[in-house]
Amino acid sequence: MCAIVGFNTKNSDTLSKMLKSIQHRGPDDSGVYESEEFSLGHVRLSIVDLSSHGHQPMIFENLVMVYNGEVYNFKEIRQELKSLRYTFHSQTDSEVVLKAYHKWGIKAVDKFIGMFAIAIYDKVSGDLTLIRDRVGVKPLYYYHKEDEFIFGSELRPILTCKEDLTICKDALYEFFQFGYISSNLSIFENCFKVPAGHYLRFNTKTSELKIAKYWSILPFFQKSKSKKSEKELVDELEELLIDACKLTMVSDVPVGVFLSGGIDSSIVAAILQKHYGNIHTFTIGFKEAKYNEAIYAKEVAQHLKTTHNEKYLSVDEAKEILLKFVDIYDEPFGDSSGIPTTLVSRIAKDAGMKVVLSADGGDEIFCGYERYWYTKKIGEKIFKLPRFIRKAISLSMDIVGVNLASKFIKVRNFEHKYNQLSEMFKDDNWQGIYEKLIHNAKNYEIKELLGVVKNIDEKSFSIGERENPMQGMMLWDYHRYMVDDILTKVDRATMSVSIEGRVPLLDHRIAEFMAQVPFKYKYRDGTSKYLLRKVLERYIPKELIERPKMGFGIPMFEWFSADLRELFESNFTSDRLTHKLLNESYLQKEFQKLKDNRALNINKLWFVLVFQMWYKRYMR
């Protein structure tokens, strides 16, 4: 794993500062390429071919490349290139990526299985090409305004050379709505992410910028569904999973697996232990039973006979990460499970691991989130009512108002639930219902906080919905929540301790296969991840994995009630809100609820706290 930076001019001091800002992503080596037209920089975390032959930037004829990621099947591609009379001086996948691009251009990416953020500069044409992997495992940001172009693996290096960046209001809205910033937006104007499955081309001579898609999961959903039997589908899925997991073990350094004891992490650990062997597994435990998955992970590890590493998390350790949260996440990020993810990464690092596998992507591909069937159940009840009745109910609720209704109905957090239901009755489609249920803050709250309400346009929902509303929800998450929350969390957490995170379940071949599997094999008779469970039953007894899904969280607000209150106090003062981006009176009203121990959406205040801490760290 590495990090890459670049910009369309020559400035050695700036390049040095950019690399220093992301040195945690690549502490083993660094290198630069400089010309009057373009500068490129690279920091390296040595994983494959630990020798100096893996040094970047790497140059071949007219091409200069910096690259972050792993192409797991590089040995097969190298053999093909050798047959075409290419020669190689290293055992790295980097050299294969560069020469594959030399031979096939952008079409080379069709051959790659892996995760990657690639930058290739053509000294003759003046084209810089940025390529991000199909799913978006590896981050890739860029700044573009008029004839100025800058890119980096994180926002941090862009911040080192741009001091006049302003907050993007659309991104701010998404953060407070979902807790992360999705799509190609970033927190800053003129700063964007290269979308997953896309490549960007910037010409240094004309300053022309083009972005094009090279892969999408959606066409595979539009193909005819498989007619194979259940056993045939289970066999084929198992074969794909074995190959994907074994490919991610390509490494010249130790590899470990994050194990929660759930279905996804258990299948990764089970397959690797059987087909590879000597697997190290890592988990975090909590004294609070409702958060503690360690007991389940230990049972799975004992059954599989992995070398298991378990640590129970202390409040002091978590508090340390809490105070460094915005140092790890250089963009506002509200998922508090980034704290245990960082800590389990530390455990793996201390045990000598340089690569860890996480089982992310299983919920979005195989149908695992409880909110999918919960939303469907609610939506079916709402849509049974004729449209005019739904509108009348919503109008009546607006007229009555939450204050009057609360005098007759005594329910915890009544204001939040009342307004949410009123909003849902206004919706005419499944996407609207789903978004209302996963919003952290409801439309009326966002309007009070930011003064605006915005609609999110996610076209993939309707494609999945043609088969089942839950498939639409899965595709919504696949393109937004998975990429910009889950994968961002794992990337920053692992990179904060200089280890590489890999995600075998996000092998694009698995996603393409499951897109063509009928929905009844994803969710059947109340059983989620139906097909994946059938594979897992071949490795682990059913009773070890038949339990409610817990998620990966910490007892944050139980642990930090006093500490958070102090942080809220210091960050919600008038002098800390001079940016005028948030409604101060609304925040003080919500904070008073916390001080009075009244019911409120505590996550909403956590998001505000994260933003305030981030603003202080990066904007002043």
| Catalytic positions | 2
Sign of the CA dihedral running 263, 264, 269, 272: positive
Strands (DSSP E) found in 180-223: 191-193, 198-203, 209-213
Place of tokens 């996948």: 93
Buried b (16+ CB within 10 A) or exposed e, 403-440: eeeeeeeeeeeebbebbbebbbbbbeebbbbbbbebbb
Q: What DSSP assignment string belongs to 391-437?
A: HHHHHHHHHH-HHHHTTT---TTHHHHHHHHHHHHH--SHHHHHHHH
List Cβ<8 Å contacts ≥24 apart for 210-219. Answer: 214/106, 214/109, 214/110, 214/131, 215/109, 215/110, 215/134, 215/508, 217/475, 217/478, 217/508, 217/511, 217/512, 217/515, 218/460, 218/463, 218/475
List Cβ<8 Å contacts ≥24 apart for 103-109. Answer: 106/131, 106/199, 106/214, 109/199, 109/214, 109/215
Environment class of residue 287 by beta-carbon count within 10 Å: exposed (0-12), middle (13-18) or buried (19+)?
Answer: exposed
Question: In Å, how far from its chain's centre is CA 72?
Answer: 20
Q: What DSSP assignment string belongs to 155-179?
A: HHHHHHH-S---B-HHHHHHHHHHS
Query: Is the separation of the CB atoms in 318 and 337 below 8 Å?
Result: no
